[in-house]
């Protein structure tokens, strides 16, 4: 085997797919037996890969397994397991450690091991290396160790694994060379970082940069509304500057993994190691986390202007995933928004072509299937994610009241964030 991918999710599967397409032999290892079975039966559980894609992978010889002993049959092991937050908001590296132990058990001389899971600087060297060295082999001497951040953007039709430049940083220059040579076999451009810590921090800088800039426009959205300034128009005007400005847009809150969670890995690490806060991240966290309740209070005001109370009003949420055109609900801002609206007494329903069932705080939120009928009858419609199925301007025309948190409507009838 050329490659074993540990963790067959949003990151691991597209990686395996590209490697297979370039002619590498690939086996996938996952601890979730249901995921393994479904993949071997040709069924995909991530947005960016269809069942046909999995069938193509299987035709190219791909197999998923829960058998650890297969790890040692590969020349390269890439770890793509989850790195969530722990109860106290700090890094939760259980899966990374478990995966590293699995590799250590069958590590062979000459193998390349790459960590791709997003994590704080020092994880590859301080956490993964000692576990792998329990095998009796030494990193940089007997085997090669590197970090390479995953930059996948689910739902992005232009940039996927093969054409997004890949940053690699090894624990020694030779490990960097090995990792660069490996990824060059199926990724167009490989970028060398000085070492594992630089590669780890590059990923956190990218995500923190987005987090902070989204918080900036979210904070501006609040006072621009008070001042009667159309922030969407402001951003369009500013975006015409051909240098020094990149547009970010306000919204109902941030979701997914990269923006709400990853920057915490950095701020937690700075606090734990150095004893002081990473103030930008903590401020951005505070602003972005309060957006769902800000949206709820704006919704309340829209009803109030019409002489209605939120208590008892029917409120329809359109799009409850964390971003448009994908099915992933992780950290979706629709959840705290629905919780807040329900606490105010609203009768909340939702529509989402990609979400069959949706529970908030243990209660199943009723789903509407007749989109137009439900939009016309609700006291208030809130556009949370603008999925491609929605013709927002037309829906705003049909609705009694329409609150557009994405700035995509233009009519008089719509209230924009």
Ligand X SMILES: NC(=O)c1ccc[n+]([C@@H]2O[C@H](COP(=O)([O-])OP(=O)(O)OC[C@H]3O[C@@H](n4cnc5c(N)ncnc54)[C@H](O)[C@@H]3O)[C@@H](O)[C@H]2O)c1
Q: N- to C-terminal Cα distance for the chain?
A: 52
Which of 19, 64, 81, 408 contacts ligand X by CB under 6 A? 81
Minimum distance, C-beta of residue 178 to ligand X, in the bound complex (Å): 21
Residue 8 lies near ligand X (rule: CB under 6 A): yes
Question: Can you list the alpha helix ranges (DSSP code H) found in 79-151?
Answer: 94-105, 129-133
Identify which of residues 32 and 40 has a Cβ nearer to ligand X in the complex: 32
Identify which of residues 79 and 315 has a Cβ nearer to ligand X in the complex: 79
Identify which of residues 265 and 390 has a Cβ nearer to ligand X in the complex: 265
Q: CA-CA distance, 357 to 346, in Å (whole number)?
A: 19
Residue nearest to ligand X (CB): 9
Minimum distance, C-beta of residue 183 to ligand X, in the bound complex (Å): 15
The percent helix, strand, coil of the chain (3-state, each to 5) is 40, 15, 45
* CA trace torsion 304, 290, 118, 85 (10° rounding): -110
Q: Output phi, psi for 381, to 5 deg.
A: -110, 130
Nearest to 27, CA basis, from 59, 79, 69, 71:
71
Residue 127 lies near ligand X (rule: CB under 6 A): no
- Which 8-state DSSP code applies to residue 169? E
Residue 55 lies near ligand X (rule: CB under 6 A): no
Which of 16, 49, 76, 154 contacts ligand X by CB under 6 A? 154
Identify which of residues 192 and 330 has a Cβ nearer to ligand X in the complex: 330
Identify which of residues 107 and 396 has a Cβ nearer to ligand X in the complex: 107
Q: Of the residues 258, 259, 382, 392, which is catalytic?
A: 258
Q: Is 221 helix (H, G, I), strand (E, B) or coil?
A: helix
Minimum distance, C-beta of residue 82 to ligand X, in the bound complex (Å): 4
Residue 212 lies near ligand X (rule: CB under 6 A): no
Which of 80, 132, 341, 382 contacts ligand X by CB under 6 A? 80
Identify which of residues 29 and 294 has a Cβ nearer to ligand X in the complex: 29
Minimum distance, C-beta of residue 257 to ligand X, in the bound complex (Å): 5
Residue 197 lies near ligand X (rule: CB under 6 A): no
Q: CA-CA distance, 94 to 232, in Å (whole number)?
A: 42
Q: Is 258 a catalytic residue?
A: yes
Residue 211 lies near ligand X (rule: CB under 6 A): no
Residue 147 lies near ligand X (rule: CB under 6 A): no
Identify which of residues 111 and 380 has a Cβ nearer to ligand X in the complex: 111
- 349 within 8 A of 412, measured Cβ to Cβ: no
Question: In sequence order, what DSSP letters do the residues of 24-70 get, joined into one string?
Answer: --EEEE-S-HHHHHHHHTT---STT--HHHHHHHHHTT-EEE--GGG
Which residues inside 214-253 make contact with ligand X, applying CB under 6 A?
none
Minimum distance, C-beta of residue 119 to ligand X, in the bound complex (Å): 7
Which of 83, 123, 288, 414 contacts ligand X by CB under 6 A? 83
Residue 327 lies near ligand X (rule: CB under 6 A): no
Q: Helix and strand tally (H, E) in the chain?
A: 14, 15
Strand bridging mode 363-364 / 359-360: antiparallel
Which of 152, 214, 334, 417 contacts ligand X by CB under 6 A? 152
Q: Is 136 left (phi over 0), alpha (psi -120 to 50) or beta?
A: left
Minimum distance, C-beta of residue 311 to ligand X, in the bound complex (Å): 38
Identify which of residues 167 and 295 has a Cβ nearer to ligand X in the complex: 167
Token digits for 21?
Answer: 């397409």
- 347 within 8 A of 312, measured Cβ to Cβ: yes
Q: Which stretch binds ligand X (CB under 6 A): 28-36, 276-284, 301-309, 314-322?
A: 28-36
Residue 99 lies near ligand X (rule: CB under 6 A): yes
CA atoms 308, 369, 293, 208: torsion sign = negative
Residue 195 lies near ligand X (rule: CB under 6 A): no
| Rounded alpha-carbon distances, angstroms, from residue 87 to 84, 90, 307 | 10, 7, 42
Instruction: Supply the residues annotated as catalytic.
Output: 258
Applying CB under 6 A, the residues found at the interface with ligand X are 6-12, 29-32, 35, 80-83, 95, 98-99, 102, 117-118, 150, 152, 154, 257-258
């Amino acid at each position: 085997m050329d490659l074993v991918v540990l963790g067959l999710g949003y990151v691991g599967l597209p990686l395996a797919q590209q490697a297979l397409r370039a002619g590498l032999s690939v086996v996938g290892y996952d601890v979730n037996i249901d995921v393994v079975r479904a993949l071997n039966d040709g069924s995909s559980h991530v947005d960016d890969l269809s069942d046909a894609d999995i069938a193509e992978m299987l035709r190219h010889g791909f197999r998923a397994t829960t058998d650890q002993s297969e790890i040692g049959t590969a020349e390269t092991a890439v770890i793509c397991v989850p790195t969530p937050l722990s109860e106290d908001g700090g890094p939760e590296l259980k899966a990374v450690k478990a995966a590293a132990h699995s590799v250590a058990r069958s590590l062979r001389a000459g193998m390349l091991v790459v960590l791709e899971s997003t994590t704080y600087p020092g994880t590859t060297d301080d956490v993964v290396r000692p576990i792998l060295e329990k095998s009796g082999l030494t990193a940089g001497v007997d085997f090669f160790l590197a970090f390479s951040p995953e930059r996948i953007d689910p739902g992005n039709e232009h940039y996927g694994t093969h054409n997004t430049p890949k940053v690699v940083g090894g624990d020694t220059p030779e490990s960097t060379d090995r990792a660069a040579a490996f990824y060059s076999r199926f990724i167009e451009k490989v970028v060398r970082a000085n070492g594992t810590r630089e590669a780890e921090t590059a990923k956190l800088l990218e995500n923190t940069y987005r987090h902070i800039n989204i918080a900036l426009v979210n904070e501006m959205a609040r006072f621009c509304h008070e001042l009667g300034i159309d922030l969407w128009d402001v951003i369009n005007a500013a975006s015409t500057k051909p240098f020094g400005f990149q547009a970010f847009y306000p919204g109902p809150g941030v979701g997914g993994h990269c923006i709400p969670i990853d920057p915490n890995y950095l701020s937690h690490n700075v606090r734990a190691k150095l004893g002081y806060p990473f103030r930008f991240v903590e401020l951005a966290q505070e602003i972005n986390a309060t957006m769902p309740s800000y949206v709820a209070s704006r919704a309340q005001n829209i009803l109030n202007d019409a002489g209605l109370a939120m208590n008892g009003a029917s409120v329809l949420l359109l799009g409850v995933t964390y971003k448009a055109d994908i099915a992933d609900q992780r950290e979706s801002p629709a959840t705290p928004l629905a919780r807040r609206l329900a606490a105010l007494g609203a009768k909340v329903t939702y529509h989402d072509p990609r979400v069959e069932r949706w529970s908030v705080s243990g209660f199943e939120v009723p789903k509407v299937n007749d989109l137009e009928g439900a939009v016309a009858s609700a006291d208030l419609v809130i556009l949370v994610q603008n999925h491609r199925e929605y013709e927002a301007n037309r829906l705003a025309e049909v609705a009694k009241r329409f609150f557009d948190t994405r700035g995509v409507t233009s009519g008089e009838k719509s209230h924009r964030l």
